[in-house]
Structure formats: C-alpha cells, structure tokens
A = this chain, B = another copy of it.
Amino acid sequence: MSNRPSGRLADALRPVSLTPGAARHAEGSCIIRMGVTEVLCTASVEGKVPPFLRGQGQGWVTAEYGMLPRATHTRGDREAARGKQSGRTQEIQRLIGRSLRAVTDLKAMGEMTVTVDCDVLTADGGTRCASITGAWVALHLAFEHCRRMNVITRNPLRDQVAAVSCGVWSGTPVLDLDYAEDSKADADANFVLTGGGGIVEVQGTAEGAPFSDDELLALLRLARAGTAELFAKQRDAVGM
C-alpha cells in the first residue's frame, strides 16, 4: 500500500506505451509515453564514423537530447537561442549514448554511425530514463532497416537495455517517480539495466538525507521489476 501523490502502488509503473515508426524520415523511430512524459526518439544512420574511430572497422552509436521549450510547466529557454546546451542536457545525452553502446556490438556495425535523438515533447519526470528505453527501440528498428538494405548481415544489438527511476518517497521505496514525486523524494536513483539482468549504469543521489545500503538495494529490486515490464513492451514494439 502506498500513499504516493500519484496514487500508484509503490511498485507500479505509470501507463507505458512505445509507438514505433513515429518519425517518417528516420531509419528507426519511436514515441515513448510514460504517463504524461512523452519523448520522440529517432535513430539516424550515416555511413561514416567520427574522426577518432576512422579506419578501425567499427561503428559508433551516440545520442543527443533536447527538450521543447514548453515541454515543461513553465517555458524554459530554447538552448539553440541561448547558444549552448546546459550541463544537465550534456550529462543526459552522454548517459543515453553509453547505455546504448553497452548493448551494441560496435565491431558488427562496420564503419557507420547511428545518432539517436531524444526530444522531449512533454515532461513529467523520468525523461532521461524514458529516453533510454525508447532509444533502444529506435536503434533496433534502424539496425533492422540496415539489415533489410543489406548494409549489415545481422542486428548488432546484443541485448535489450531500459531504464527507470526509483526513489524513496516519504520513507518508502517507490518505482517510476513522476515530476511531483521526484521533486519531493528523499533520494532518487536511475537504473539502466539489461535484458540479461546486468547493471549498465546506476546513478543514485540523496536529495535530502543520505540513503542506506538497504535502501539502495530496495530501489534496485523495484527497478528490476519495472524494467521487466519495459523489456516486454520493447519486444512488442519491435516485433520480437
């Protein structure tokens, strides 16, 4: 039983949907919705690699993240107008890129780059985690497109990857914080997990009082349950 603001049970995800093919021009794309949060993920394929990888016979996967100015309750500055990306934006896009590369066989890609853009259309907490979960679908679809075009012979993804944020709310560990919960949680941890059960990234932050080892483990258990649902949704979305 939980009395969290959302009324959800402690271990309940928000309603989740993964809609593939949302962007007409992209090689792979997906809109992920987790409750009100909505992120458009597009995967773009380019037949070359960044300078530091040239001639090494391997590929690269990278990500960029953005938020529409009015994705949020009050309008934020447009980063393009301000002339630079915030530290938060850069931190998130680096995390998305690392998470995707952790389950990609870069050697199997050959010399190509896939750039996954995650653009938040509506924000209500958990945008970085939703981006990772949706980005995997877009990336998978882009690789399938390349396979159909005979650019690669097999899909270089070795596993699924998905992410969810958990937190300690009013003393209770809860799954999938929305914005109202996140802004009042005592602690907040994002887990990026693989289909095979491994941890790719864990980022836990105490907002108020520090948290304990037991709390960290409780959050991790919730995240495993939550990502299990997300992995099933991903497989549906890509037809696996």
Contacts and interface: CB of A to CB of B under 8 A. Distances in A.
Interface of A: 23-26, 29, 36, 40, 42, 44, 46, 64, 66, 68-75, 78-81, 83-91, 93-94, 98, 102, 115, 117, 119, 121-122, 189, 193-194, 196-206, 209-213, 215-217, 220
20 contacts: A23-B71, A24-B36, A24-B122, A25-B71, A25-B122, A42-B70, A64-B81, A69-B115, A83-B83, A83-B84, A87-B90, A87-B94, A189-B202, A194-B210, A197-B212, A198-B206, A199-B210, A202-B204, A213-B220, A217-B217
B210 A70 contact: no
A189 B212 CA distance: 17
Given A44-B75, A87-B94, A199 B211 contact: yes
A205 B197 CA distance: 15
A227 to B, nearest CB: 12
Contacts of A74: 25, 44
A196 B210 contact: yes
Nearest to A69: B117
Given A81-B64, A84-B80, A87-B94, A200 B206 contact: yes
A39 to B, nearest CB: 12
A218 to B, nearest CB: 12
A70 to B, nearest CB: 4
